[in-house]
Structure 1
């Protein structure tokens, strides 16, 4: 097929482009080569170099109609990855995140709804962030979906979620696709709207929609300089510079970290598999890993003897726990992740060592959040 990948020079997109091309598809990549992601010389970035000579590359933004109309010409499938992706940054750059994530998706669908085209399927990158806090089991066996944690509780060092009216501890369980959607950040809200736009509009205009709720994606090639990328690359870069690691909250907050190659394989199924049509899927490992475990594992693999300090700092908009129920994607698409956390983080660490530390504005990004009242 002819496949358009928006954001296709990014961390996930560049690997997806290579994998789809390897399978015989003809790939067009649309990417604006954002400096925050690709650095101040974006045409030397790993993602751009990976796609420049093997795809039809278009430099441009998903918010420009003429660019999008040009990119969509002759395409049979679209994988819509282009988005602003920093949870913390989204809490104060609200217009930017809404314009790109919601506006870009709206423009894509508006063009498909109002012009002649050849697109048969749209795959959208959704996110675990749309769930907000994950799913829990109450002592009576019922499932509950706790609301956002209060600033007062977290100031007091009480970081675990609470559910009004429930006596006794809550048991964290896997979050399935039928779980409550209640995002706690602007980023999460924009991903929810992206997903709902695609899954509502596409079937109404005769296009198959597919949404993947990616968990915390990591792996070689993830930007070491972008201060709003995942904590594994942020921690790796800090450790290689000999800087201390500031662990937020108490270090026991957990996420489902999924290796980028597994995300790519799941997304290929979203492009090709008939059973993916008009379905929403989690993409993760189904295993929660604490931030403290991440820090100590990276310290061991990078042989970095740096202080790992639990500060009790917290960011408004962050969640406590969430990990994916992987039953649906396994049953419908036959997807099983090939990498567990230890296998994936070993590959990330080896790549980070070879790449070396990079200049980053991570500390400045935290200070910006403090000034905005979002970092405590």
Structure 2
């Protein structure tokens, strides 16, 4: 199990995983297209993510939508960690074919090759997402555990952002476990659900062990500060560093489970190395919800830069209200424990950002795109 292919291995999670695996003695191959949105225009000379793995891995510049690139990359591999994907809920709602082509069809090509061509692959690890849970799991006094449908403009236009469930009074948020209902509220979530299900269904028929990790909101040093479409901490940081104000959507009380990159890498390596992970699906997070106001205030405090923070009531269709992970399964089966609190991780992240060149703030452009599509209100 020494040879590991990481698709999307020049990305944020992939590059960190590659470096940790190399330190443990693994031989790593990376297949990555060096997306301009993530790496900038001259990635091979200027992308910190790419440069961190350059000359340390066998690098194949290519796409998961290319059968030939997959064939080249799979050769001689024992394990495949499949990260390459279009990410971001908002953008997925109007670049639908692109998300389906890369995320679903790219995974289909992989599985088709594994099913029909000789290989030595013994395990496939797929990056799934908390987005497949949609609005997540709640407790109703009247009905017990329920899974609310996607929120609608009818309520949100009037400043009512909480989830609803017919026949129930106010709902109590609970942690989402792996047996929770899968009902994504974005095209991105649908593609991650599809990826996960294809891998978990096909691989066992081929004698290959599948493992799926449903990552929560991953952050930390090294994440792209160029991408205005995904990564709330990096988006807010670029705004602050440019002296621009922060526009917080909804009422600022929406929460996410922010999990530090080192914890994500450690969880993934447990999935690679432990047989107990085989044929299983795991949440990866901290098990703690953090609201967006706390994120914005923490960043401003750590940078020591005063910028206006406005809670606008704007919202994006496809966004969820809350979600945080139930970690019972990964703790019991893989002995995983997150090591970083949000405060500790935020300190490391902002310390790193302070060493980086300030990037152009293109967030307003990304919002204008969504507004033109009727997805930003």
**TM-score, length basis structure 2:** 0.99
8 Å CA contact 1:125, 1:211 repeated in 2? yes
Say whether 1:93 aligns with 2:95. Answer: yes
The match for 1:177 is 178
Once the two structures are superposed, residues 144-194 of structure 1 have per-residue CA deviations (whole angstroms, 9 ceiling, x without a partner) of: 01000111100010000000111x211101000000000000000000000
Task: Give the match's secondary structure for 1:309.
Answer: strand
Report the Cα distance in structure 2 between the residues aligned to 1:41 and 1:11, rounded to whole angstroms.
17
8 Å CA contact 1:226, 1:360 repeated in 2? no
Report the Cα distance in structure 2 between the residues aligned to 1:310 and 1:269, rounded to whole angstroms.
40
How far residue 140 of structure 1 moved from its aligned partner, in angstroms, is 3.7
The match for 1:139 is 141
How far residue 273 of structure 1 moved from its aligned partner, in angstroms, is 0.7
The match for 1:354 is 355
8 Å CA contact 1:15, 1:264 repeated in 2? yes
8 Å CA contact 2:211, 2:277 repeated in 1? yes
Unaligned runs of 5+ in 2: none
Say whether 1:14 aligns with 2:15. Answer: yes
Task: Give the match's secondary structure for 1:354.
Answer: coil
The match for 1:330 is 331
Task: Give the match's secondary structure for 1:355.
Answer: coil
Higher mean alpha-carbon deviation, 87-96 vs 350-359, is at 350-359
Report the Cα distance in structure 2 between the residues aligned to 1:141 and 1:276, rounded to whole angstroms.
34
Report the Cα distance in structure 2 between the residues aligned to 1:354 and 1:64, rounded to whole angstroms.
37
Report the Cα distance in structure 2 between the residues aligned to 1:375 and 1:299, rounded to whole angstroms.
25
Say whether 1:36 aligns with 2:37. Answer: yes
Q: CA RMSD in A?
A: 0.7
The match for 1:122 is 124
Report the Cα distance in structure 2 between the residues aligned to 1:310 and 1:140, rounded to whole angstroms.
33
How far residue 304 of structure 1 moved from its aligned partner, in angstroms, is 1.4
Say whether 1:107 aligns with 2:121. Answer: no
**TM-score, length basis structure 1:** 0.99
How far residue 267 of structure 1 moved from its aligned partner, in angstroms, is 0.6
Task: Give the match's secondary structure for 1:75.
Answer: coil
8 Å CA contact 2:242, 2:361 repeated in 1? no
Unaligned runs of 5+ in 1: none
Counterparts of 1:273-292 in structure 2, within 5 Å, are 273-292=274-293
Counterparts of 1:225-374 in structure 2, within 5 Å, are 225-374=226-375
How far residue 141 of structure 1 moved from its aligned partner, in angstroms, is 6.5
Report the Cα distance in structure 2 between the residues aligned to 1:145 and 1:336, rounded to whole angstroms.
27
Task: Give the match's secondary structure for 1:92.
Answer: coil
Report the Cα distance in structure 1 between the residues aligned to 2:353 and 2:195, rounded to whole angstroms.
32
How far residue 229 of structure 1 moved from its aligned partner, in angstroms, is 2.2
Say whether 1:164 aligns with 2:171. Answer: no
Structure 1 residue runs of 4+, over 3 Å off?
none
How far residue 356 of structure 1 moved from its aligned partner, in angstroms, is 3.5
